[in-house]
Amino acid sequence: MPENPCVAHFRQYLVYEKALSPKSVEAYMHDVRLLQEFLGEKPIETATLEDLQAFVKSLYQHDMATRSQARIISGLKSFYGFLLYDGTLKEDPTELLDAPKIGLHLPDVLTLPEIEAIFDSIDLSTPEGHRNRAMAEILYGCGLRVSELVTLRLSNLFFDEGFLKVVGKGNKERFVPVGSMAQKMVNLYVEGKRKEVKVKKGEEDYVFLNRRGSHLTREMVFMLVKQWAKDAGIEKHISPHTFRHSFATHLVEGGADLRAVQQMLGHESITTTEIYTHLDKDYIRSNIAQFHPRY
């Protein structure tokens, strides 16, 4: 079937005016297609609030996760907001459409002893040992995303100044302080085992390489982190992002300024960083429960 003209115009708006990535555009299109399928032959631009409420009810009845429901509703609000903006509609049918309430999700965090246990469990006598230890130190010591870790470049290490340059989401660059232990482990790897690897053409500037001389993939780092946790006897469900959460949480617990943490994490909005104040409250509450004689 040919694409609905309103949907086609929305797609063009996302691509050319909003300049969204192909993945983001496809996510919006997926939301719109779901509603189109639900409406059948009824044109999507004629949907009423009652139609949309029935659609949301169908998502719930199919046991779709609350967060996924909320994301789809958000996508549809953007679609109908666009139709209002371009004059196709005079009223927005999603204006009174309620999204399901999403509870605050507090990420798993590693304790300092668990972080140390992971570091100690990495066998430095293996060919990849120094690389893995350096990666773990950078993940925790700098709070990097896994995508930022695997694309970290030698030319972006400014250890004399105590910083490394990170290329984050949207190709935005930021400078992140790097501690002495992380610097030490990266230097040991770069000056040692990394020089024994035959580096592939075009991969010379990447810090962390696999045995074949290519930079690591996100999937490889996920597998390595799972193995580190297993070797350290940690039963928590962790991922590379757990190190980032732990980095931020430990800073906030130690009294770090939230704006500074925001800058180091590369969060666009301070509200994203504020989740760590909730984690800190839980930490305080647990300490009171443990040590206060009347709690």
Domains, the chain, with CATH or none: 5-85 (1.10.150.130), 112-291 (1.10.443.10)
Q: Which of 131, 145, 245, 250 is catalytic?
A: 145
Is 212 among the catalytic positions?
Answer: no
d(CA 234, CA 53): 44
Q: Which of 57, 169, 172, 230 is catalytic?
A: 169
pLDDT value for 280 = 58
Question: Which is it for strands 163-167 and 173-177: parallel, antiparallel or unpaired?
Answer: antiparallel
Is 244 among the catalytic positions?
Answer: yes
Output b/e per residue, 163-193; b: 16+ Cβ within 10 A.
bbebbbeeeeeeebebeeebbebbebbbeeb
pLDDT value for 106 = 58
Tokens 């999204």 identify what position?
99
Tokens read off for 250: 């430990």
pLDDT value for 255 = 83
Sheet containing strand 163-167, edge to edge, reads 157-158, 163-167, 173-177
Is 145 among the catalytic positions?
Answer: yes
Q: Which one, of 270, 252, 283, lies nearest residue 143 by Cα? A: 252
Length of the chain: 295
The per-residue pLDDT for range 202-261, each reduced to its tens digit, is 999 999 999 999 999 989 999 999 999 999 999 888 889 899 989 988 888 888 888 888
User: Is 163:176 a contact under the CB 8 Å cutoff?
Assistant: yes
pLDDT value for 201 = 94
With a CB cutoff of 8 Å and minimum separation 6, the contacts of 255 are none
Q: Which of 193, 245, 250, 267 is catalytic?
A: 267
Q: Which of 131, 133, 193, 244 is catalytic?
A: 244
pTM value is 0.62
Is 278 among the catalytic positions?
Answer: no
Residues of the chain with confidence (pLDDT) below 70: 1-2, 101-107, 277-295
Q: What is the dihedral of CA 109, 113, 116, 117, to 10 degrees?
A: -90
Q: Which of 9, 184, 241, 278 is catalytic?
A: 241
pLDDT value for 286 = 64
